[in-house]
């Protein structure tokens, strides 16, 4: 289950690294279906490289519309 604390942790990382914030803005601004498809590809690639479970959890969280909206509200629109 994705909690507000989990979203806050993602936002804290974004606050420390502008490149992560920029990517999150782009991902979260995508239309729901496009975002889900793109993140499925990212997830598959990460699983193929044995990425850490917390990284995979983050990718899955970003595919949720409520999480993407919360991040977008905080970070604002891309570019």
3-class SS string, the chain: CCCHHHHHHHHHHHHHCHHHHHHHHHHHHCCHHHHHHHHHHHHHHHHHCCCCHHHHHHHHHHCCHHHHHHHHHHHCCCC
CA angle 75, 63, 56 (to 5 degrees): 100
Residue 5 confidence (pLDDT) above 80: yes
Q: Which of 61, 17, 31 is nearest to 43 (CA)?
A: 61
14-47 pLDDT, tens digit per residue, is: 999 999 999 999 999 999 999 999 999 999 999 9
Residue 69 has pLDDT above 80, yes or no: yes
Average model confidence (pLDDT) for the chain?
92
This prediction has a pTM of 0.83
pLDDT at residue 6 is higher than 90: no
pLDDT of amino acid 1:
67
Q: How many domains does the chain have?
A: 1
Q: Residue 38's domain spans which residues?
A: 4-75
């Amino acid at each position: 289950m994705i909690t507000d604390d989990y979203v806050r942790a993602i936002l804290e990382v974004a606050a420390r690294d502008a490149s992560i914030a920029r990517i999150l803005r782009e991902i979260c601004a995508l239309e729901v279906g496009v975002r889900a498809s793109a993140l499925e590809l990212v997830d598959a690639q990460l699983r193929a490289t044995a990425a850490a479970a917390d990284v995979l959890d983050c990718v899955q969280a970003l595919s949720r519309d409520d999480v993407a909206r919360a991040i977008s509200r905080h970070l604002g629109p891309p570019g």
